[in-house]
Amino acid sequence: MKQAGFFDVEERLARLSGLGDQLEAFSRTVDFEVFRPDLEKALAYSDGSKGGRPPFDPVLMFKILVIQTLNNL
């Protein structure tokens, strides 16, 4: 196996798209942004004034949970 190059990410994403990427399928069928207000309200993130690492996007984390559930992970 050869070492990954600088531009291999695009090739890998193109290959995933060709194989039927689940994230792309979900993006076409489900509008996950509808869930953003409820997720932000439930998570109640701080304003960041105390510093620290910014939180992950709540919609992204929700997508991850949906995919994990559908694949029994």
Measured from the Cβ of residue 40, the count of other Cβ atoms closer than 10 Å reads 12
* Cα-to-chain-centroid distance, residue 36: 13
| Per-residue model confidence (pLDDT) at position 23 | 77
| C-alpha atoms less than 13 angstroms from C-alpha of 57 in its C-beta half-sphere | 8
| Per-residue model confidence (pLDDT) at position 10 | 81
∠ CA 13-16-22, rounded to 5°: 115
pLDDT along the chain (73 residues), means of 10: 72 81 81 92 80 85 89 82
Burial status of residue 57 (CB atoms within 10 A of its CB: 0-12, 13-18, 19 or more): exposed
pLDDT in tens, 11-31: 888 887 888 777 788 888 889
- Distance in angstroms (rounded) separating the CA atoms of residues 32 and 14: 23
